[in-house]
Structure formats: C-alpha cells, structure tokens
A and B are shown apart, each in its own frame.
Chain A
Amino acid sequence: MSYLSLTDGDRDAMLEAIGVSTIEELFADIPAGVRFGRALDLPPALTEQELTAYFEELAEANADPSQTVSFLGAGLYDHYVPAVVDTVLQRGEFLTAYTPYQPELSQGVLQAIFEYQTAICELTGMDVSNASGYDGTTVAADACFVAKHATGRSKVVVTEATNPQVRQVVKTYAPGFGLEVVEVPHRDGATEPDELREAAEDAACVIFQQPNVFGVLEPAPDLAAAAADAGALPVAHVDPLSLGVLEAPGNYGCALAIGEGQSAGNPLSFGGPHYGFLAARSEFIRRMPGRIVGETTDAAGNRGYVLTLQTREQHIRREKATSNITTNQTLLALGGLVYLSWLGPQGLREVGETCLALAQYAKDRLNFPPVFSDKTTFKEFAVRVGRPAREVVSAALEQGIHPGYPLGRDYPGMDDALLIAVTERRTTAEIDRLAEVLASCS
C-alpha cells in the first residue's frame, strides 16, 4: 500500500514538463559511489487490512491492560482521560498542522496554546509558561540551563527523592551545559532543609519534587526558602493533578515550576508521547526555552495570537539560543488543556481529594509497615512487604493485580519496598482486593 496520488499518466506528463525522460535522471546529482544499489530489505508492503491484523497482533502480545488492576505509578499514572480529549485531538485541523509559523492560518492552535499557558500558570502560580517541553525529565534539564545563565553559577542540586529518571536526564545533559550535579540524600523519605541549604551554596538552582518520588510531601516552602537563601533558584517538580489540593510553587517562592503533564490528560502509551511543562516568574521570560505564544492585534485591532519572543529561539539566535527546541508536544499539551477545562477548579480539587482519600484507605487496609513513618503522602506511598518486592509483583500479577513499583530498582536497601499508586480510577473494592492479594503473597 502507498499513500501516493500520481498516476502513470501524471508521471509522464510531469517528467516531460521537467525536461527529463526518467525519474532516475532526477537523481543525477547523487554521486554513483553513494547510490544505494539494491532494494531496501524491509518486509513486504501491507494493505490497511493487513496492517490492522499485524498491529492488533502486536498490541495483543502485551498483557491486556483491562485484565489487570494496576497500582503502578512511579512517574506516570493511570488517571481517567475523558472522551472530549480524544474528540478534540483527532480534529484534523489540529492533528495535521505544523508549528504555527503563519499565524493568520493558525489561530486555532495559537489560541489553544495561549490558553494552555494560562492554565499552567494558574496551576503553578507562575507568570509565564512555555508551550510545552518533551516530558517531565527534559524540562528539568531545561530549568538547569535557564538557571545557569540566570545566575552564572555552574552547579545544580537535585534531591535524591526526585524521580530517578529526572535525575538521570539532568546528569546526561549537565556536562554539555558545563554543570556539576550534586544530590542531596533524603532522610526517612523527605529532604532536610538545612542539609539542602548547605548543598545549595554556589548552586544555580535546586530541583526538588513535590510530592517526591516516594509520594511523600516535602516541606516544600522550607526547601524553596533554603535554596533562595543560598542564592540558588528554587525549582519545584510538581504533579499537575496535585495542584488542586497542594500549594502552588509560585505561592511558596519558587523561581520555576516544572513537571510531567501525563497525569493531566494523556494516556500512558508505554511512556510517551506526553508533555512536560515549564513555568517561571516573569523575570525569566527572556531566558525561557521553547515556544511561547503571545497576544497581539492585526491592523484593524482584532485580537490574535503569534509565536513571540522569538529572539530567544534557535532559528533567530542560533548558537546563542536559550534552547534548541523546535518540535515540542503541542498536541499533548492541548490534551492537557482540554482535560483541565473538563475538570475545572472544583473537579481538580475533587481528583486530588479522591486520590488522598483512596490512598489513605489503601494504607489503612494494607497490613504492611510504611517505609517512611509519620509522613503525609498524596496518591502514592511505600510499604515494606517483607520479601523482595519484585517477587511480590510477580506473584500478585498471577492474580490480576499489579501492586506497584519495586523501589529497590532505584534505591539500594529498599528491595522489600513497594511503591503503591492509587488514582481516582481505583475503587475501594479494588483496594480490598489488593489487600487480599498482597496478604496472600507476602
């Protein structure tokens, strides 16, 4: 199958108009030594019907998600995505448009991004948001780049209780940025402000996660104050769905707020594509990475939207740009906007409260000691299951339950720790079942 439109007659007429007799002649500029002399060794072409059979087979080679009740999170979460998100994202005018370089033909997506930026600013308590980053890990690297240039400092601090993938990505980018990365250990599941203050000396920024990787609520205002006291920019990595019940980073002194948008409006999709968000106080607006949409008018005074502050960007500034981002995650960010609009402020609060309530119910139902005592958590918490958590996962899966993430994968000494995520999609009956299954296999 192919998606070509030319008939043999078209080809002949076109070749004649060009003044050549074969398509091969069009490639005359390619030196003989670098021409590919054979057919591509790819499986034979498939019709749509054959493709469907093949891709269904691949999808079915995965465990059927509808047959497992999942408490797996650790960065991506099984939240409900309403039908309106799919409806909007499948509009061809959004789906098949490029980056809005020509604003008069792109008002739909430009206005939508402007609304997305507004929603992210409202969630995080910030003044400015970009049009999205790749995901919740790369926005952390972006934040480090902003902080390095804003402060002239060459060290960044990340708390150990920040999601390991976020830390890994920051470490991968840091050498190129000329940054040293320092990690601050957690103490019983949370970060000590005094210890953070010490590490933050001479740092460009401090990145901490709220709630952190263990689901624990950090003393976020104290951490932000400790960073600021050392002259480092406080950067909070936040879960957007927590921000109906948890304080906005902008309200406790953060310079930047970043995060993984998946929980707000994107399906899991085996890890992507999702959107990362990056918002900041207004003083950093000209250091922001990526696209930003701004409001303006046409000659008649009609309101309209354009990509703005483009002198930050690679296509104008080239090697002096604030980032190399061109393609971002607009469609997923649009999904986030639709979702947040569907929820509204009351719905957002209720999602947060439901997660809090169900997670507390799960804590009460499970007869396992918490890994971290006396800590307030949001939708995720860690318990000690008394044997290697990986084995418990395997055993529970036999009974149709994915009980969570074995923290020993990332944290030494936590082999018996299971990180359990409870979203609003779980029910008390499912949690009861989780308790039964875990009791039977621990």
Chain B
Amino acid sequence: MQLIFEKSRPGRRAGRLPAHGLPVPEVPAGLRRDEPPRLPEIAEPDLVRHFTKLSTRNFGIDTGFYPLGSCTMKHNPRVNERFAALPGFRDLHPLDEESRTQGALRLCFELQEALVEVTGLDAVSLQPAAGSQGEITGLMLMRAYFADRGEAERRRKIVIPDTAHGTNPASVTMAGYELTNVQTDARGNIDVDDLRGKVDEETAGLMLTNPSTLGLFDENIEQISEIFRSAGALMYYDGANLNAVCGISRPGDMGFDIVHINLHKTFSQPHGGGGPGGGPIAVGERLAPYLPVPAVVREGDGYALDYDRPKSIGKVRGFYGPFGVFVRSYAFIRAYGPQLREMSEAAVLNANYLLALLRDAYELPFDRLCMHEFVLSARRQKREHGVTALDIAKGLMDHGFHPPTIYFPLIVPEALMVEPTETEAKETLDEFAEAMLAIARDAEERSEVLKEAPRSTVVGRLDEVKAAKRAVVRYLFEDHPDLSGDPAPVGVEAPKGV
C-alpha cells in the first residue's frame, strides 16, 4: 500500500484557514523558514480513504480475540469515548482558574479515592503517563524517602525477580539505582532463600509484579514482605497484572508501599495501537509527602491543586496527568462499582478454563492454577518438530486470532503467554482453544503450514533483521530505497516483549 506521501500531488489540500485580511508580519531572515516541509498534499476524500484503508490493515480488540499476555486486552466500552469528548472536558485548559475546573478536579479526586480503595494504600498521584513512568516515579519516591532519613547514599540496590518486565530493570538504571536479580523457585514463586541472601542494609527496595508474569500469585508474599520490612527497605508493586486481584487481594495488604496502576490495562483505557496509557501511583502514608506536585485535594466543598508540598520530588509530566484517560477509566470503575471483584473473578475463570483446554497440548512449566493469565511453552513442539513459539503465533493469525505474547517471560523457553481477560465469551475461548489444538496437530503432521504462516494477512512474515540493518525509518522521497531489491537473509528475529 502506498504511503500518504506517495499519494501527495502538488497543489492539493484538505484544510483551509479563515481569511483574516491582515498584513502578515515579517519573520527576520535567519529565523524564517524558506523551504517548506514536504507534508502530504492530499484532498479530504483521499485523506479519509487512506486512513480507513490503513485501519483495515490493523487488528484491534474490536476485530477479534487478542490474548496478548500482560497487556489485558479487554473490551473498551464505547460510552467512555463519548465522555472524554464532552466539551466540558475536551476543551478545558489545564491552566484555567480552579473555580472553573471544579468538575475535572472532582473527577480526579474521586478517581484517586477509588484507586486508594482498590490498592489498599493511602494516597495517589495521577500524574505518571504510563506504567513505566509510574515505575521510575516510584523509584524517585524511594530515593527521596531514604534521603530524608539520611540513608540514600547507602541504599543503592533494587531487587527484581528474573520474571520481571523489562521496564523494571530499565527504570532502575534510569533512576540511578543498581540492580539485584533474584531467582524464581520450582513453583514459580520468588526463591525466598535466594532473596534472603540478597536483601540487606544496602537494599532500597523490591519491584514485584504479583501475580507474576507467569500468571502465578506468589505464595510466599508474606515472607517476602517481612524480609523487606525488617531490612528497612520498601516494596514496589508493578500493577500490570492488577486485573487478577481487584477486590480479591490488595497490594497494600500484601505489604507494598508503592503501586502503579496501568489504567490502559485494568481500567480499560483503549490502548490506541501503543498509547495513550495512564500510570497513577498509590503509596502508603509515609511516602505521601514525596508525591509529585500538584496534588488534587479536597478543600471545603470544592477541590484544589496543592503545590505546597516541600518534600515533593517535583513534576514527572506536564500538568496533572493524562486527564482524558482518567475520564474513561473512572467511568469504567463506576460502571462496576463494588462488583469490580466480579471482573477479576471472570478474568481468572476465563484464564483457567482456557488453560484446562490447552494444558495437554503444550507444556505447562509450572503446574498450578493460574490467575488472569498463564504461560505455556512450545519447547516440545520445537524439540520434536522444529516448530517455534513464533511459528505458532503466526499460525494463529491464519485462524483469525491475535497471537499471545511470545518469548516472555524470559525464564520460560518458547514461551506463549496467554491472557484472555474477563470480557470474552466462552465460545470465543473454545474457538481459540480449537485453533491452538489444530496448530499443535499441524506441528506434528504438517509443520510447513506453520513455517509459512501467516498466509491470510496483508503481508507475509516480515524481515526484522533487514529492518534493523537498513534502518529506513522515514520516507525519503526521491531518494527512498527499494528494499525489495535487497535479498533477505534467511530467518527472522523473533518479536519479543510486552
């Protein structure tokens, strides 16, 4: 399909400006642009067709089942889009007077209160723009907390299990901390013996996802919590998997001091092909003074922005956070109310049902009931038939499904990480299981079908090595290379990550 730049024709345009009839002041030479940017020149009909065609070359939850592990691809209620577009929200300037933004501040405050209740902690900042920004904000809070106690120089280490999302170690480095890895035991929990030897007076804290990226609730969480508590260290909860435990178990009650919540996962902000998200953090009382400014607070009958927080780490993002995301997520929470627990129950039920249908066809590295997701291994298919997790993922596309997350977590070879979410119907799970079983049979009987997959998509398997090697990351107009003339090396790099 052509790029919009390739459809461009000189002189075409869509938008026009109202005439102002005024002289245009001169921009001084040297500051003035003389060579215009080569933006597309296209009329509105073809503009709409271009993006509509692009959309048909994309798969969303609206298109079909999307069991991408650790991403919580649940239905996105459409009424929430309508709320975010209400003029009173959409056209509101964040620097307008507080007296004129009371509805927005109230919404922020009520969302904070709801997140306090769901996490079992005491105070919330909505400011971080995504889970990974919540992480680094949480680590900054740890630093500020220990600096206040005169322990910042000594407490340099953050402990992370080997199952962690890649964001955790990346955040640790960016926050200026050192990483200590801890192993996973035979049941898929943190190896408590390994942990004991790694937590000491130099430890600032732990970063843990619970349930873990294996989809397993850490059975030793109380011991883990005690180890950190007695070392005077803090505990950070990566909320990527909060969808499993709303109303069932709260991070604050597990002993965590800081939690980030992925509003685009648990609370249904549409992921938009990569964002926006929201990564509010909830903290215990002792960390509240360090939260970003401003805080949204209640003041008499109204709501206000409080900048007078001398111990605050400062600002991590502009203004008060991604407000449009708050509107959608708060509407989602209000739709469920106390029945959020049923949401998590259904998520866990769906995952365990799907696991029951698949556990004989694929290896299950940790044989337990799962929480909201589970991790299978295609190790047997690879060993016996040369069929990899990547082949299985591509094969699923030809059955009309989005694949699960693959090759993550790193400790499971040929990992297939499946998260069905609570919004799927039983028939959908049955159909997906049938496809996975058909693929397991194909691996045994006609593995070439999987090696050649996908065949039903708009492009075949793409050469990621060539993409990285050639690094063509923008259209280059008349100098644009023709990569099809560049013979592809055999084999492709497996896409990873969540």
Q: What is the bound-complex CA distance between A273 and B324, given in angstroms?
A: 6
CB of B328 to closest CB in A, whole Å = 10
B384: chain A residues at CB < 8 Å are: none
B363 within 8 A of A: no
Contacts of A354 in B (CB 8 A): 17-18, 20
Give every chain B residue within 8 A of A440 (Cβ-Cβ): none
A163 to chain B, nearest CB (A): 9
> In the complex, which residues of chain A have a beta carbon less than 8 angstroms from the beta carbon of B292?
172
CA distance A169 to B101 in the complex (A): 24
Which residue of chain A is the closest to B327 with respect to CB atoms? A55
Which of A14, A64, A137, A307 has the largest number of chain B CB atoms within 10 A? Answer: A14
Cβ contact within 8 Å between B173 and A319:
yes
Q: Is the CB of B54 within 8 A of A112?
A: yes
- Selected interface stretch from A95-103, A195-203, A226-234: A95-103
**A175-B143, A314-B166 in contact; A296/B483 too (CB < 8 A)?**
yes
Our pick among A56, A247, A251, A326 for the contact of B130 (Cβ within 8 Å) is A326
Given contacts A99-B271, A101-B497, A176-B175, contact A115 B5 (CB under 8 A): yes
Q: Does B474 contact A (CB under 8 A)?
A: yes
B317 close to A137 (CB less than 8 A): yes
* Inter-chain contacts of A326 with B (CB < 8 A): 130-132, 165, 167, 497-498
Assuming the contacts A115-B5, A172-B140, asked whether A105 and B319 have C-beta atoms less than 8 A apart, the reply is no
The binding surface of chain B is classed by DSSP as: loop
1/0 per residue B234-274: CB within 8 Å of A?
Answer: 00000000000111111001110000001010001011111
Asked whether B324 lies within 8 Å of A269 as measured between CB atoms, the reply is yes
Size category of the B interface is 35 or more
Q: Closest chain A residue to B130 by CB distance? A: A327
Asked if B411 lies at the interface with its beta carbon under 8 angstroms from chain A, I say no
Question: B362 at interface (Cβ–Cβ under 8 A)?
Answer: no
Given contacts A111-B57, A298-B459, contact A356 B24 (CB under 8 A): yes
Are B101 and A6 in contact, CB atoms less than 8 angstroms apart? no
Complex contact A117–B474 (CB within 8 A): yes
Would you give the 0/1 interface string for A83-122, flagging 1 where the beta carbon is closer than 8 Å to chain B?
A: 0101111111111111111111111110111110111011
Chain A hits for B424, CB < 8 A: 5
The answer to whether A248 touches B33 (Cβ under 8 A) is: yes
B51 touches A104 (CB 8 A): no
Check A94/B459 contact, CB under 8 A, given A19-B356, A309-B471, A424-B18: no
User: Whole-angstrom distance between the alpha carbons of A57 and B342 in the complex?
Assistant: 28
Q: How far is the CA of A442 from the CA of B175 in the complex (A)?
A: 47
Task: With CB as the reference atom, state the residue of chain A lying closest to B405.
Answer: A101
Residues of A within 8 A of B100 (CB): 62-63, 397
B438 interface contact, C-beta 8 A: no
Q: Is B107 part of the binding interface, using a Cβ–Cβ cutoff of 8 Å?
A: yes
With beta carbons under 8 angstroms apart, the residue of A40, A48, A220, A244 that contacts B31 is: A220
Q: Does B408 contact A (CB under 8 A)?
A: yes
- CB of A221 within 8 A of chain B? yes
Given known contacts A40-B341, A176-B143, A348-B37, is B468 in contact with A34 (CB within 8 Å)?
A: no
Q: Is A129 an interface residue (CB 8 A)?
A: yes
Tell me which of A39, A94, A121, A345 contacts B36 (CB under 8 A).
A345
Beta-carbon contact of A393 and B276 below 8 Å: no
Give the contacts of A343-381 with B (CB-CB under 8 A).
343-351, 353-354, 356-358, 360-361, 376
Given contacts A115-B3, A324-B167, A347-B13, contact A273 B129 (CB under 8 A): yes
Per the bound structure, the CA–CA distance linking A138 and B103 in Å amounts to 27
Query: A234-252, CB under 8 A of B: which get 1 and which 0?
Result: 0000000001111110010
- A176 with B338, Cβ < 8 A, contacts A272-B323, A328-B275 known: no
Q: Which residues of B contact A95 (CB under 8 A)?
A: 60, 62, 76, 81, 270, 272-273
Cβ contact within 8 Å between B497 and A217:
no
In contact, A315 and B176 (Cβ under 8 angstroms): no
Inter-subunit contact A267/B90 (CB<8 Å): yes
B237 to chain A, nearest CB (A): 12
Verify if A441 is at the interface (C-beta below 8 Å from B). Answer: no
A75: chain B residues within 8 A (beta carbon): 95, 318
State whether the Cβ of B216 lies closer than 8 Å to any Cβ in chain A: yes
- Nearest CB in chain B to that of A106: its residue: B58
**Contact (A310, B462) CB under 8 Å given A2-B335, A31-B219:** no
**Hey, which chain A residues are within 8 Å of B323, CB to CB?**
269-273
B341 near A39: Cβ-Cβ < 8 Å: yes
* In the complex, chain B residues whose CB is within 8 Å of the CB of A63: 96-97, 100-101
Q: Mark A163-177, 1 if CB is under 8 A from B, else 0.
A: 001101101110111
Complex CA gap A119/B472 in Å reads: 14
| Docked pose: A417 CA to B371 CA in angstroms | 57
Q: Which residue of B lies closest to A89 (CB)?
A: B272
Please state if B219 and A29 are interface contacts (CB–CB under 8 Å).
Answer: yes
Contact check, B96 vs A54: say whether CB atoms are below 8 A apart.
no
| Other 4 A-B pairs with CB < 8 A, given A75-B318, A104-B454, A324-B170 | A27-B248, A94-B60, A104-B459, A297-B463
Query: Can you list 14 contacts pairing A with B, beta carbon distance less than 8 Å?
Result: A3-B423, A11-B349, A84-B47, A127-B474, A129-B473, A217-B28, A247-B31, A272-B319, A296-B467, A325-B132, A329-B276, A357-B20, A360-B23, A376-B28
